[in-house]
Structure 1
Amino acid sequence: MIDVHRLDRENLERAYGLDSQRLLPWPELNAPFEGAWCVLRPHTTSTPHAHHEYEIFIAVCGTATLIVDGEPHPFTEGDVVRLPPGSTHCVTNDGDEDFEYYGVWWDAEMSAQFTARHEASTS
């Protein structure tokens, strides 16, 4: 049996200067990562930030610029980007359409919690 977690475009939440829907809470999902669907509106820039987690961004539709530690990088539909822990990053959408991407992040603590939940569910 599969579970489908639907995107609710009408109720996206504002975070880091963009609109998003977090992957969690999703009680049925036991994963060693977290994630969010992100929508960056035209002519806006997400809030620059850095964190200790590992992260990847998957560009879903549109074209933007990913700025990592002050360096701009083209970021377009189909691109997958790995962001090192501690890197300061933001996304700029200079276009006239929404730019959409999915962010996934993880760290050692998330992995350990996943392992503990997994082992408890199989005992």
Structure 2
Amino acid sequence: MKNAQLMTLGDITVYSPGVLIQDVKGIGDPKTTCPVELIEFRLDPFAVSTPHSHPSTEIWRITSGHGQVMTDDGELAVKSGDLVFLRPDRTHYLENRGSEVLSALSISWKETR
């Protein structure tokens, strides 16, 4: 089947203290590329991710917990079920202010022309 393919999850890696990331990989056909990056991440209770920016647009779907998305222009309260849109090349990070794991699924892509 070529129009639908299974993908696999990569190894869980530590991105920063309290932050675990797991990339989605392996389309199976090395000639096929995926135009988006998909990452699942978890932020331990009361942990803070490392501030960063990147040239990709990103959407997070918060899958558990609650916290604050911090950006150069303020902070945004988030909870399980929320979708967060992050513009490219803007510094952002996440604070887990709760006593449970905050987890999210991130989809990012670079603008194509």
TM-score (norm 2): 0.81
Q: Which runs of 5+ in 2 are unaligned?
A: none
State the alpha-carbon separation in 1 of the partners of residues 103 and 52 from structure 2.
18
Structure 2 CA distance for partners of 1:25 and 1:15, relative to 1, 3 Å = farther
Residue of structure 2 in register with 1:67 after alignment: 70
Contact 2:46/2:96, CA 8 A, preserved across alignment: yes
Offset at residue 87 of structure 1 (A): 1.1
Structure whose residues are more often helix by fraction: 1
TM-score (norm 1): 0.75
Q: Please say if 1:94 is aligned against 2:97.
A: yes
Structure 2 CA distance for partners of 1:46 and 1:107, relative to 1, 3 Å = same
State the alpha-carbon separation in 2 of the partners of residues 98 and 45 from structure 1.
12
1:71-86 matches, cutoff 5 A: 71-86=74-89
Runs of 4+ in 1 over 6 A off after TM superposition: none
Offset at residue 25 of structure 1 (A): 3.9
User: Based on CA coordinates, which of the two structures has the bigger radius of gyration?
Assistant: 1
| Percent identity of equivalent pairs | 25
Q: Please say if 1:27 is aligned against 2:28.
A: yes
Give the root-mean-square deviation of aligned CA atoms. Answer: 2.3
Number of positions where the alignment pairs a residue of Structure 1 with one of Structure 2: 108
Structure whose residues are more often strand by fraction: 2
How far does the alpha carbon of each residue in 1:73-122 deviate from its partner, in whole angstroms, 9 at most, with x for none? Answer: 101111111111111100000111100001111114xx58xxxxxxxxxx
Q: Please say if 1:40 is aligned against 2:36.
A: no
